[in-house]
Chain A
Amino acid sequence: MDAILLQVLNGLDKGGAYALIALGLTIIFGTLGVVNFAHGALFMLGAFCAVSFKSLISLEKVTLDPTQKTAWGTPLEIREAYVESWFGDAGTLLINYSVPVSLLLAIPTMLLIGIAMERGLIRFFYKRPHAEQILVTFGLAIVLQEIVKSVFGANPIPQPAPDVAKGMIDFGVAIGFDAGNVVYPAWRLIYFLFSISIVGAVFAFLRFTSFGMVVRAGMADRETVGLLGIDIDRRFTIVFGIAAIVAGLAGVMYTPILSPDYHMGMDFLVLSFVVVVVGGMGSLPGAVAAGFLLGILQSFASMNEVKAILPGIDQIVIYLIAVIILLVRPRGLMGRKGVMEH
């Protein structure tokens, strides 16, 4: 039982990332009708916002100590971060909390990247076939990841969680298990709660604001909203920016779980597309539900007991479930009639 609970928790934090990426993909598809294969790159760029912020606040003052030599005979470099020398303990604290603090940098950065991406490239492909949209956004994703690689290198760059969130939480004790049986990394639980919060915030924004109401109306019937004199294109541009922010924030908070490298967006992209399709093209609740569902199923399929019966199931389970769901419900779990059916 404890093993099952552990895998549920594991599926939830993994599913959180899938859900956030899929949510952004669905928003863009629902509003702009664009199949955005560069969305994984936005997740990766968010992660590199955290890397950039940490690099920025870790800029070091280098002094040479002629009394000590490196192994190759040059004077030893003594390094001290500027923020630590300027602000003392506050500077150390800032470096320690660099991942959550970098959310503040990621929000405007990702908004600008999203808007630039939409205005500079993607808007020219609104009326083009989906195949062309996929090609251009996939090409864009490759360009972005190669730029990141040329700047940051190919190796993963570690981004530790704040010290306070590095430990384990004995989750089982709270629900009646013996102490030590269901312990789980604190940061992963934080990530799950964070993803739930972001999903809730996006839904609340679309549900309870007039901006959101117009966007939802535009998703349902773009032409009629336009006839009412509302500049729906401008709002959809902002929606693209919001979707970029969601992907970016998901990437920032994921960095302590997975050391970021230039390829991390591609790793999530394919799975996130499966999540969108399983959830139902254009359905926001479907994307979220499918994200968590597939995350949990993927975790269960990796259990040794399951793999003993079905070897290799862990590597195909998501695609298998996708096939089954599409056979039973061709529009996905919560897909709307008419989306991608013409």
Chain B
Amino acid sequence: MVRRTYARWCGRRGAERTPPTRFTSQAWAAGYTNEPKGGTVTLGFNVPQTGAYADEGADELRAYQLAVEHINGGGDGGMLNTFTSKALKGDGVNGKKVVFVTGDTQTKSDAARASAKRMIEKDGAIMITGGSSSGVAIAVQGLCQDAGVIFMAGLTHSNDTTGKDKRANGFRHFFNTEMSGAALGPVLKNAFGSERAAYHLTADYTWGWSQEGSIKKYTEQLGWQTTAAVRTPLGAGDFSQYITPVLNSGADVLVLNHYGRDMVNSLTQAVQFGLRDKQVNGRDFAIVVPLYSRLMAQGAGENVKGIFGSTNWHWSLQDAGSKAFVKSFGTKYGFPPSQAAHTTYCQALLYADACQRAGTFRPSGVGAALAGFKFDGLGNGPTEYRAADHQCFKDVLVVKGKEKPTSKFDVLEVVEVTPRAQVEYPASMLGGELGPYNDGA
């Protein structure tokens, strides 16, 4: 009895002393971390299942389940039918059936790292993917690099994910704030002219700073002035005390560098304060939301009408890949997919395809197959996973809140598909070093 108690005590002490990024299980024993031995290969879907982004996480999970179904030969095949790479045959990957485990990021870096670690160590996940926050993505990407597994980022828009915090084992399909700025700039100039004064309200964390910097850079190049850039606490709820100073500031554009619940609240309140209908210096006041999410736009209701922003993908696109994905997803779930669902579905397919082409699950082999990979048919036009920073380059959508929505899903309209060439930038511009791949051996 005493011996058992002592053993339990030792176990607890050991667990307490284990640093969070140290991998101790059988994960390290093979040629590379979690090398699959049996007839299955396990993927780890790390999405927010609780917390403010739970609805977005649920849509990511739906997309992952659909992707696994298609990779294993189920359903109608979705975008596998339009994907230019024909390596996947609908019989799994490298002869193994794909299975998955899930984790809850809670949109908290610590929780996300803990769930990713659990999936790698306990469940034998060969790859981690998902998430709805740049803070989470950067934290999990670092963990995956240390663990020797590939990380296929979900919804993360900060420049830092494939900029100063990039890692060799990490790959991002989603666009970033630099690309949003480059896409939105010319559209804003056409819509509002080049003599504008912009007032920024910015979420006070890595993504907000990144977004504010990019929009300021591109709008100031157009000739706009920045009247003020005010940082707001994350999750402030009521932003009215930050909006009232805008009223008589002389600014005629309000840029809301907010996402999710903050975006819903700040936009709703800005419209309440009459900013959408206001006139300043003889010009119509304008509101810009640089990063739109259809799921979040639904939360802001009619307040999104006429408001410009950018998005990674939208279900109304008419290319063959988008139509195939919307058909698959809509038939299975009864509503159209969000951009989060699209990007996570693509990431699952791209990873599986890279493994198949590489003929291995070894991270360095898979990474080499992904880096510099050019493809089409996944809904964003011709796309490249740039080797220098593992950032996908593709067309970016500029959207506007729809004036006359036909359904609760039909809240945004695509006003311009900005070509990839216009949003490309040198890899060295955002800093950081990829470093070497880590196979975990």
Contact = CB atoms under 8 A, between A and B. Distances in A.
A65 B260 CA distance: 34
Given A71-B315, A259-B265, A10 B244 contact: yes
B331 interface: yes
Interface string B229-251: 01001010110111011011000
B194 interface: no
A168 B279 CA distance: 14
A81 interface: no
Contacts of B10: none
A149 B54 contact: yes
B264 A154 contact: no
Specify which of A158, A167, A268, A303 lies most central, judged by the most chain B CB atoms within 10 Å of its CB: A158
A9 B301 CA distance: 26
A160 B52 contact: no
Contact of A259 (B295, B300, B407): B300
B268 A259 contact: yes
Interface stretch (B22-30, B172-180, B322-330): B322-330
A64 interface: no
Contacts of B75: none
Contacts of B228: 304
B302 A160 contact: yes
Contacts of A188: 240, 272
A73 B264 contact: no
Nearest to A157: B299
Contacts of A9: 244
A3 B248 contact: yes
Contacts of B223: none
Contact of B241 (A153, A256, A258, A314): A314
Contacts of B407: 77
B233 A156 contact: no
Interface string A303-314: 110010000001
B265 A71 contact: no
Nearest to A299: B241
B210 interface: no
Given A10-B240, A259-B265, A307-B230, A158 B272 contact: no
A71 B323 contact: yes
A70 interface: yes
Contacts of A181: 248
Interface string A264-303: 1001100000000000000000000000000000110011
A329 to B, nearest CB: 26
Contacts of A137: none
Interface string A144-178: 00000100011111101000001110000000000
Contacts of A183: 247, 274
A73 B331 contact: yes
B107 to A, nearest CB: 10
Contacts of A6: 244-245, 247-248
A264 B237 contact: yes
B296 to A, nearest CB: 7
A263 interface: yes
B91 interface: no
B274 A185 contact: yes
A315 interface: yes
Interface in A45-75: 70-74
B209 interface: no
B52 A154 contact: yes
Contacts of A307: 230
B247 A72 contact: no
B245 A304 contact: yes
Contacts of A299: 240-241, 244
Nearest to B263: A156
Interface string B246-273: 0110000000000001001100110011
A13 B300 CA distance: 21
Nearest to A5: B244
B248 A154 contact: no
Nearest to A181: B248
Given A10-B241, A157-B299, A258-B238, A70 B272 contact: no
Contact of A156 (B230, B238, B264): B264
21 contacts: A2-B248, A6-B245, A7-B241, A10-B244, A11-B241, A70-B330, A71-B315, A72-B330, A74-B330, A74-B331, A153-B54, A153-B55, A160-B302, A185-B273, A187-B272, A257-B240, A257-B272, A259-B265, A263-B261, A302-B245, A314-B233
Given A6-B245, A10-B244, 19 more contacts: A11-B241, A14-B241, A72-B331, A73-B327, A153-B55, A154-B54, A155-B264, A155-B296, A156-B261, A158-B264, A183-B247, A185-B273, A185-B274, A187-B272, A257-B240, A259-B264, A261-B52, A304-B230, A314-B233
Interface of B: 50-55, 228, 230, 233, 235, 237-238, 240-242, 244-245, 247-248, 261, 264-265, 268-269, 272-274, 295-296, 298-303, 315-316, 323, 326-331, 336, 407
